[in-house]
Structure 1
């Protein structure tokens, strides 16, 4: 068994390396996303770079503007992806990323921080839209699931770095660390190859063959069948250039787009970015007795560990099963947190003996989200759409995901301040409840183990015609 693993690793290590280098940018953006959790308390202290303590509204804008900037990502990547290639878009995302760290480092007013957050959001949106596509196009079928999980893993490592470094250093220490890590981004991505699919699409057949040989660690003859299949697929799918109208050309595409957009918005309305951006603050507000910094580090570790497990269960348990079980779990545990906060902060009951409940519920929340509600929408985008419309569908789903995230992240703290933190958590629970109802209904099909044609038959309500038996 060990020898088989060594032999497979020896042959496929180049694919693992390329996926890791392409995902390195998501580590940097994960750090920028988690930056607000330790930094917002620092902005209220003596070490703040700002001339005054930011107001609640200003803090909400600092938190939410990254998601508004994320809306720019699909608008940039979709038009450019057909012309400059996946590699150069991934490399180009470092420009707004570094700009954000630079602006955050020299900021002396809140408006500079606003621009920094928008720049980080633009980089994050570009990577979210392009890295999963890049990995899907370089990976062999057998290891595509494992390699696709690298993107989520690196994001969570970035969050963990922000959570562990932030509480033990100054504002400038954390910001400088993020900037230094981002400086390694271009050297890392410089060595990744362009995807064979894009090279074939551009008619660079010899280059595509060379890249396949390097990625697969084998000879030209052995990759010829894969290269031929890519050429056939490009010839079939791109007789006419892709258009936005392709997304509603069939009933199945319309249904698939509705499913993916709903689940992508549910991903944000479940409150994930609210929790990640304001983790330290929320742990204090819900009344947990553990220190906010320690609780945040625990959450970061849980994220990283769970994201390593996700690829092992997605293909075994199925998409529909994971969606309804995890959304139901999120509904239950968010409700419990709201009840705890109501008793502790509103009715002032002595809850010392159960002070572990909020952190425990948040840990379970993070596990459930990382297993189901988080990754499944993007898996379905990859499975439900033909190659020709996949990039457009991914861009629209990403755009709606960022839009929902911006709105909720911007107003979550206003709701908490006006109506109590328990009310805000109950709203999150209600959103997850809608996700549960949708997931158990016939509206969400199970795509596990099905071919693209079988999935299209389900979406279009087509039944297989039974051939007549000769008598």
Structure 2
């Protein structure tokens, strides 16, 4: 038994999990920034608000949505810089706008300063979303790539839970200070992550790449030599000329991969996740649940974190396609049920006290399903489906479209709810998830356990004989 335990311990690639966790720590800080609005918007309306007056509904919508708008700038910064300074330095540099956001939020006495703080948080979040999945994909072995990629979402959800758990029991400045203090640890943590072997080989630093591979794989120089030579051959093949935007549609496989990843990244936002997370307390009150809004948000945060711990265990077992179509189908059903409940409660004013638990239960199941599939899978696929040459460009475009869809929806969700009823807003979310279910069940290929070359062959419909003929 002891020998079996030692064997399993040696087989556990803790160095890769540690590097992925340290790189993902910034998403905990941005998760706090994203969840900040849920407990803080009620305080901005109260007597202890730092603002001179209570914000209007439109101003609150801008406070919520400007973070998502700031996310649009992240890919615009990371894509051109990634080939010059590498993934590690970009991940470290995200701490600058992150800390700036906490500083501005802490000293804000007017809406304009708060708006800039939200934009700065958004910029940091967009940079992380465009870089960390690629970083993890480039350091991970094929068999644990999905598990490592799921850590990114786990840290985001821990950040949301911290915001939900601290916010209702402290002042505006208490939560803001807590976020700033946690962000101070980000730079020293990321200082210890290695640069990716791919980038080191791309820059001709082969000895450093070999050392990083030896550490990450817990193997000798001779054992990692085949992987190193594979990287060298791939870079020599893919980077004969510098990457260009038109490379994204240079082959049928690239077009297919871009379409899949952009659609799923937009689906991630159109499923309503940012709306629910930003305005959780408000929505729990509006749909008629009887539990207190602050207690409900804490329950939701705990559910997110617990499910995120399960995600790494299942994403490499069940596969991307199965997780996407089952979870998007589930989201469709439970969002529609919340809409029906809200219609009965707020529009027809039926007595629904006997089933008052339904909205919270549906939202809990929503969070479980989102965290298992619709949330992590798009970013895993971004890291898996593109050739090395076009991966950064594709990741930037997918991230940009994700944040664009998120900005539009978070900005106008409350307007739709105010004009046409909260039930209509939930039904729109359900329709979006239904489209995602149809897409995932029919058009999404399975990439579980496949190498990058195997995924490219599948996307381009290349057989083994055709590939050998090309050679």
Q: Under a length normalisation based on structure 2, what TM-score does the superposition of the two structures give?
A: 0.95
Q: What SS is found at the alignment partner of 2:84?
A: coil
Mapping of 1:266-305 within 5 angstroms? 266-305=267-306
What residue is the counterpart of 2:175 in the other structure? 174
Q: Which runs of 5+ in 2 are unaligned?
A: none
What residue is the counterpart of 2:222 in the other structure? 221
- Between the aligned partners of 1:439 and 1:58, the Cα distance in structure 2 is 37
What residue is the counterpart of 1:447 in the other structure? 447
User: How many Å apart are 1:319 and its aligned residue?
Assistant: 2.2
* Closer/same/farther in 2, CA of residues 318 and 15 from structure 1, 3 Å limit: closer
Q: Which runs of 5+ in 1 are unaligned?
A: none
Q: What SS is found at the alignment partner of 1:194?
A: coil
Output one character per residue of 1:15-63: Cα deviation in whole Å (capped at 9) or x when no partner: 2222221111111001100000100011011111000000000000000
- Between the aligned partners of 2:445 and 2:221, the Cα distance in structure 1 is 40
* Closer/same/farther in 2, CA of residues 409 and 349 from structure 1, 3 Å limit: same
What residue is the counterpart of 1:322 in the other structure? 323
- Between the aligned partners of 1:295 and 1:18, the Cα distance in structure 2 is 33
Mapping of 1:235-384 within 5 angstroms? 235-384=236-385
Mapping of 1:410-449 within 5 angstroms? 410-441=411-442, 443-449=443-449
What residue is the counterpart of 1:7 in the other structure? 10
Does 201-210 or 356-365 show the bigger shift? Answer: 201-210
User: How many Å apart are 1:447 and its aligned residue?
Assistant: 3.1
User: How many Å apart are 1:204 and its aligned residue?
Assistant: 1.1
Q: What SS is found at the alignment partner of 1:82?
A: helix
- Between the aligned partners of 1:319 and 1:85, the Cα distance in structure 2 is 28
What residue is the counterpart of 1:126 in the other structure? 127
Mapping of 1:390-405 within 5 angstroms? 390-405=391-406
Does 365-374 or 405-414 show the bigger shift? Answer: 365-374
User: How many Å apart are 1:349 and its aligned residue?
Assistant: 1.4
User: How many Å apart are 1:175 and its aligned residue?
Assistant: 0.1
- Between the aligned partners of 1:144 and 1:440, the Cα distance in structure 2 is 23
* Closer/same/farther in 2, CA of residues 459 and 20 from structure 1, 3 Å limit: closer
Q: Under a length normalisation based on structure 1, what TM-score does the superposition of the two structures give?
A: 0.95
What residue is the counterpart of 1:142 in the other structure? 143
- Between the aligned partners of 2:453 and 2:225, the Cα distance in structure 1 is 25
User: How many Å apart are 1:370 and its aligned residue?
Assistant: 1.1
- Between the aligned partners of 1:308 and 1:336, the Cα distance in structure 2 is 27
Does 306-315 or 43-52 show the bigger shift? Answer: 306-315
User: How many Å apart are 1:465 and its aligned residue?
Assistant: 5.8
Task: Number of aligned residue pairs: give it.
Answer: 464
- Between the aligned partners of 2:420 and 2:361, the Cα distance in structure 1 is 24
- Between the aligned partners of 1:265 and 1:362, the Cα distance in structure 2 is 20
Q: What SS is found at the alignment partner of 1:333?
A: helix
In the alignment, does 2:82 pair up with 1:84?
no
* Closer/same/farther in 2, CA of residues 141 and 321 from structure 1, 3 Å limit: closer
What residue is the counterpart of 1:198 in the other structure? 199
- Between the aligned partners of 1:255 and 1:73, the Cα distance in structure 2 is 24
- Between the aligned partners of 2:415 and 2:79, the Cα distance in structure 1 is 34
- Between the aligned partners of 2:26 and 2:458, the Cα distance in structure 1 is 37
Say whether the 8 Å CA contact 2:197–2:213 is kept in structure 1: yes
User: How many Å apart are 1:460 and its aligned residue?
Assistant: 3.7
* Closer/same/farther in 2, CA of residues 322 and 201 from structure 1, 3 Å limit: same
Q: What SS is found at the alignment partner of 2:48?
A: coil
- Between the aligned partners of 1:27 and 1:160, the Cα distance in structure 2 is 10
* Closer/same/farther in 2, CA of residues 444 and 143 from structure 1, 3 Å limit: closer
- Between the aligned partners of 1:445 and 1:220, the Cα distance in structure 2 is 35
* Closer/same/farther in 2, CA of residues 439 and 222 from structure 1, 3 Å limit: closer
Q: What SS is found at the alignment partner of 1:84?
A: helix
What residue is the counterpart of 1:56 in the other structure? 57
Q: What SS is found at the alignment partner of 1:73?
A: helix
* Closer/same/farther in 2, CA of residues 80 and 147 from structure 1, 3 Å limit: same
Say whether the 8 Å CA contact 2:149–2:380 is kept in structure 1: no
* Closer/same/farther in 2, CA of residues 105 and 218 from structure 1, 3 Å limit: same
Say whether the 8 Å CA contact 2:308–2:371 is kept in structure 1: yes
Output one character per residue of 1:251-272: Cα deviation in whole Å (capped at 9) or x when no partner: 2211221121111111100100
- Between the aligned partners of 1:125 and 1:418, the Cα distance in structure 2 is 31
In the alignment, does 2:110 pair up with 1:109?
yes
- Between the aligned partners of 2:22 and 2:386, the Cα distance in structure 1 is 27
Output one character per residue of 1:135-172: Cα deviation in whole Å (capped at 9) or x when no partner: 22222333322222211111110000000000000000
What residue is the counterpart of 1:459 in the other structure? 459
* Closer/same/farther in 2, CA of residues 119 and 333 from structure 1, 3 Å limit: same
User: How many Å apart are 1:453 and its aligned residue?
Assistant: 4.8
- Between the aligned partners of 1:183 and 1:402, the Cα distance in structure 2 is 25
Say whether the 8 Å CA contact 2:144–2:316 is kept in structure 1: no
